Structure formats: structure tokens, C-alpha cells
Amino acid sequence: MVWGCVAAKRHRPVALAGVIGIVASLSILTASPAEARKKRAAPAYSPPYAAMVVDAKTGRTLFAKNEDEPRIPASITKVMTLYLLFEQLDQRRISLSTPLQVSAKAAAQPPTKLGVRPGTTIKVDDAIKAMVTLSANDVSMVVAENLGGSESQFARMMTAKARALGMSRSTFHNPHGLPNSPPNITTARDLIVLGRAIQERFPQYYAYFETRSFQYGSRTIRSHNRLLDRIDGVDGIKTGYTRASGFNLLTSAKSGGREVVASVLGGRSAASRDNIMADLITSNLPQAYAGARQSSALAFASATETRDTAKPVAVASAAQDALEETTSSITPSSRQPKAINLANIRPVVASASGSTATPSQSMQWNRGAAATAMAPPAPRPEAPAAKAQAVKAPATTTVAKVEPKAEPRDDEAASKVTRVSGWVIQLGATADADKANDILNQAKSKSRSTLAKASPFTEKITKGGTTLYRARFSGFDTDSAQAACKMLKKQGFSCFATRG
């Protein structure tokens, strides 16, 4: 997973948008890729580089250097823009075929750009691909204006979302990462948080980051991503570059059951940045945990999913969601930085639960494997039938009425499905059903009066092959649901209200 490219006047093979990831395509704001390569020691960039590597399954820090120092993300900014777009898709406020209106301001954004014209529209599906493969600045502005109503409002949404995710040192002022006064600011640690979140929160859309090319009208738009084909196991990249930021990269890699998310900010050249990232991945991936996921970025509430009625691009709703959401932090644990040494790399068994699995030997350098076009991820059904299970709660708890479901049962779901009406509140979503039940029981224990008449239940959902269990309480109307969430948030829980 890697993320980011901002400006390029010619389309030559440089690291462009790839994958959250975790989530990078080379961004060149004020110069073409060829010109950027000549500026190997970008004179305007002076801070030392910052980097971080985190075990995606445990949240354990494997490497850290200047990870909390402020840096300019450049085009990696687009990962947050895509996060907010994926959120609207996930909540069905828009679909992949929804047309987005192109304003004169959006069309006038500097390169790299797709070349959309004022007064026209672009479908959400094409917008995503243009941002991922081309790192199109004009399309980024189209998304911002359609979801937020204006660039400034969308930037506030981006910053609010960053805070909700636990990105405490990130502030955004535009949706694409072009030079701005004041500039967008982030840290290597915050980008790790974003990379983990977008990968786990939206598995059905994350595959977009691996897009090698797409057809737009009569044009074939190709990604200039280099690392996707140079390192087996890297599942996408997004890069960024401006003179003020240096060469940036956010990526993830998987091999032998191990997963890492890594960020590098402030490389002196594209080559040096890529070499640093290669060292980080090859030296730290063998140390990652090969067992079951122990720490999930999905432990926080997914989004404020207050769905009144289905509507096209709901500007007001999207803005309010981002500004009101409060979620728990998924900031990786800190750890003393360690030296990178590619020599004599040996598999290291992580200690999360004593796994003795050895890493796959597929993590290796390749020389320019031929890129192949990747089919876009299948759109999510308009109304997926979510399964739900009764929660093991205290004896005084009343479980919602269960009714048989006509569709085939899931092997892990009981022959009963909890159906709820009115409003429900959600305290989180996790890949472990027991953890979802624990969340509910803890909330019930700490908020007996608030949840006295509420019924706890877990709701099983499957997205892009990933199974999650939502921890929810039913038995509310609009006002009581909001009041319950307000109280639970004061007690340290994540919470949002939605229709049952």
C-alpha cells in the first residue's frame, strides 16, 4: 500500500500513485519527473528525513526515526481525500457511478491533472482511478468541492477526520498537496495511522491503489509506480514530492503472513527515498508477526453513519460527519529506532503469540516486471444483508427479538438473526467477535443507567473478503441515541448513532 504524486508535465515512469496501501505515486508539483530527478538534493528541503515502520497485525513499532517531527506530505495528502470519498461510498451516499461536477476552479488546478473541463462531470470510479494512477490535482479538487461544498470546508473535514483517527499532528489546507500557505502538515507516525486505517476500513476499495492503468475516454492513463513491480509483496504505493517536502513515500507490504506499513518523508531524491524504503521493508518485514491479527485499526467507530435518506453527493451530511466524529486513536506504540542492515537478513519470529511460522521467501527485488491492468474492485451491493448475533450480556439484559432469515445461513452465524428497528448506536467494529462482545459488556458495566433499556448485539458483515463484527446497542430513538453516544464518549468509548 503506498500513496501520492502531485505534479508532472510529462508522464514518464516515476513512482506514482499505487496503493492504504496501507497506501504512493511520485508527486512532482513544480517540475516534471525528469526535472525532479535532476534536483537530487532538493535545495529547498532541509530537515532530516523521517521514517517509521509498524507491524500491521500488532501495531508494534519496528523502526522509527524523527517519526513525530512535522513534515509536508505533498501528494500523499490525496490518501486522506480518498479516505473521505471511500467513506461516502461506504455509507451509500454516493456510488461509483455518481457524476461529480467540475468547477472552473477545479479545472484550473496545476499539473499533474486529468484535464477535466468546467461544466462537465466525472464519475466517482474514474475520479478514484485518476487520483491513484495520475495523482490528478484537478480531480482532487473536484472531489473536495463535491463532498465539502468548498475547498476550505473540505480541508476542515480532512483535519477533523485526522483528529478522529488519532492523527494528532496533521492539519490539511487543500485536498491534493500542492504548495500552500500555510502548508499541509503531517508526521511519519500520522501517515502510518492513515495507511492502516484506509486499508482496514475500506478493504473493498483499497484494491484501487494497485491500479496500473485505466481507460478514460480514448486515453489510456498509466501509473508510473515503480515499487509495485520492484518488490514482491508491496501491494501499492503513493509518493509525494515538492521542493519543500522532499521525496515522500507511504507503502505497505505483505509476505509469508506478515504485514508492515511504512512511511518515509524527506528523501533527497526519488532514488534515495526508494532505497531507504527498500531497506526498511526488507529488514523489518521478517520481524513482523505471522499469526492472527492482534491489533486492528478498525477498533474505532467506522464513521458517523446517520443515514436519513439516500441522496446524491450529500455535501452537508459529509461535512457534518467529519466534523462531529470522535474515534479512538490507533497511534502505533513507540519503540527505540534500530539500525537498518540488509546483510544476513534472517526470519525473526514475532512474539505476539509465539508463532513459529517462517516468512515467505517471496519478498525480493525484481527488475521491472511487466505491469498488467487490474480490474477495479467489484462495487458493493446496494443493500448487503448483514448478519447479526445475540451478545453474551449480563442476565438483566434483554436481547432484541430474533426472527428467521430467508437467505442461507452463514456457518458462523446462528440460525437466528437479530433484527432491530428505530435507532442503534455502534461502539466499534473488529475482526474478533469476542472482542466485539467485550466492548459491549464493558460499556454496559460502565454505563448502566445510560444503557439500562438498550439491547446489545453484534452484527456480522463481510467487506471485500474481510469479516467484521459491529458492537451495537438497539432500543433508541433519535434523541436518546445521540444522548447515549455523548455519555459513552465522555467515558472513553467510541460511539455513533445510526438508523437500525
Structural domain boundaries in the chain: 1-382, 384-499
pLDDT of 275 reads 87
Q: Which long-range contacts (CB under 8 A, 24 or more apart) does 105-110 make?
A: 105/141, 105/145, 105/151, 106/138, 106/139, 106/141, 106/142, 106/145, 107/138, 108/138, 109/137, 109/138, 109/140, 109/141, 109/176, 109/178, 110/7, 110/29, 110/137, 110/178
Indicate the pTM of the whole model.
Answer: 0.58
> Which strand (E) or helix (H) includes residue 442?
helix 433-446
The CATH code that applies to domain 1-382 is: 3.40.710.10
Q: Do domains 1-382 and 384-499 have the same CATH topology?
A: no
As a whole number, mean pLDDT of residues 38-43 equals 43
pLDDT of 489 reads 80
Segment 364-423, tens digit of pLDDT: 433 333 333 333 334 444 333 333 333 333 343 333 333 333 333 333 332 233 445 578
Residue 495 corresponds to which amino acid?
C
What are 327's three cell numbers? 474515534
Is beta strand 387-390 parallel, antiparallel or unpaired with respect to 417-418?
unpaired
Q: Residue 221 forms beta bridges with which residues?
A: 214
Contact 144, 154 (CB under 8 A): yes
Cα–Cα dist 260/252, whole Å: 6
Segment 241-257, tens digit of pLDDT: 888 998 999 999 999 99
Q: Which of 128-132, 265-269, 495-499 has the lowest mean pLDDT?
A: 495-499
Q: Residue 496 — pLDDT band, cuts 50, 70, 90?
A: confident
Contact 427, 438 (CB under 8 A): no
Contact 63, 52 (CB under 8 A): yes
**Overall fold of domain 384-499:** Alpha-Beta Plaits (3.30.70)
- Spell out the residues 6+ positions from residue 380 whose beta carbon is closer than 8 angstroms to its own: 89, 90, 204, 463
Q: Which of 98-107, 219-228, 251-260, 329-338 has the lowest mean pLDDT?
A: 329-338
- The average confidence (pLDDT) of the chain is 73
Contact 469, 424 (CB under 8 A): no
Contact 21, 198 (CB under 8 A): yes
C-alpha radius of gyration, the chain, whole number: 22
Percent of the chain at pLDDT above 70?
64
Cα–Cα dist 70/170, whole Å: 8
Cα–Cα dist 161/80, whole Å: 8
As a whole number, mean pLDDT of residues 168-194 equals 97
> Which strand (E) or helix (H) includes residue 472?
strand 466-476
Contact 247, 265 (CB under 8 A): no
Q: Residue 328 — pLDDT band, cuts 50, 70, 90?
A: very low
8 vs 15, 16, 265, 482, CA distance in Å? 11, 10, 19, 47
Cα–Cα dist 131/6, whole Å: 9
